[in-house]
Amino acid sequence: MTKKKKGRGPSLLFERQDAVVIVSINDPPWNPMSLAFMDALEDLVPKIAEDRAIRAVVLEGAGEEHFSVGMNLKELAGAARSQRELEAVLDQRLRVLSAIENMEKPWIAVLYGYCLGGGLELPLACHFRLAAQEGAKIGLPELDIGTVPAWGGTARLTRCVGRMHALDMILRAKKISGPEAHRIGLVNEVWPNTELKARARELARELAEAPAASVAGVLRCVVGAGERSLQEALYEERRAVLRSSKSKDRIEGITAFLEKRKPRFNVE
């Protein structure tokens, strides 16, 4: 489940808190995403998807200084000795991020300090993003090193904030603050740095308490909505309603409403 870095412990940390798991990039203070980290994340993602007891995921960096400066460029240079090797590295990242984005469990990314390149592209594949009120530098500065975002950043950023803001950030290699990211719709919430990680866990617990089948249905509907026609999107929503109508959680929700109490979802 983890890949070890030579003499420095695992590159990925995994902590379980009841129905919530915390996944951390473990190379502080900068938390570059090494090849070992991406291998470990690729191993871990399907296990999270298949584990019915896990209902929400928090993604963060180890330590309090930075989420991630993105891909380890020294490793990338070594891996890019041939076109085939470079394509394999890029394909893996696209594959892993797509699996996270299309998972039927919410992922929450915690952004603070540097969140650059892959350090923004990975959060863009998550369903919620929370940012620090101070000190965050969020961006896709690949043009500064003569290249372009390679992990789906151009597509996901554009869908998230629109073409105008995406072009402004990418072509100018801008690094924006947490409040600015919130203003343009890149993050859901901004919190004081000292409260940020605790708030992410609180949100994860809230989402984990929601009816799992219904959460999965909403994620299927919303994440894929931009790629479907209106009729296809409405049909997907109808399928989600019919699936949830057969669940114990639907009966519990209606019963709790009639009895004027808080529902107890996800009880086997």
Q: Which helix (H) or strand (E) holds 151?
A: none
Average pLDDT, the chain: 89
Domain membership flag for residue 263: no
CATH number at residue 108: 3.90.226.10
Give CA–CA dist 88/84, Å, rounded: 6
Same domain, 187 and 239: no
Between residues 3 and 71, the one the model is more confident about = 71
Angle at CA 225, nearest 5°, toward 223 and 230? Answer: 165
The number of distinct structural domains making up the chain is 2
The answer to whether residues 72 and 105 belong to one domain is yes
The C-alpha torsion from 75 through 77 and 83 to 89, rounded to 10°, is 30
Query: Is 69 a member of any domain?
Result: yes
pLDDT exceeds 70 at position 97: yes
Q: Are residues 101 and 224 in the same domain?
A: no
Q: Which residue has the higher pLDDT, 36 or 6?
A: 36
Of all helices (H) and strands (E), which one includes residue 7? none
Do the domain assignments include residue 267? no
The answer to whether residue 115 sits within a structural domain is yes
User: Which of 194, 164, 193 is CA-nearest to residue 179?
Assistant: 193
**Pair 187, 77 in one domain:** yes
* One domain for residues 130 and 233: no
Q: Which residues of 84-101 are buried (b: 16+ CB within 10 A; e: fewer)?
A: eeeeebbebbeebbebbb
Domain span at residue 244 reads 212-258
pTM to 2 decimal places: 0.87
On whether both 148 and 164 belong to a single domain, the answer is yes
Tell me the pLDDT band of 258, cut-offs 50, 70 and 90: confident
Whether residues 23 and 142 share a domain: the answer is yes
Judgement on whether residues 236 and 134 belong to the same structural domain of the protein? no
Same domain, 224 and 195: no
pLDDT per residue over 44-66, tens digit each? 999 999 999 999 999 999 999 99
Does the pLDDT value for residue 233 go beyond 70? no
Per-residue pLDDT, 43? 97
264 located within any domain: no
Residues 225, 123 share a domain: no
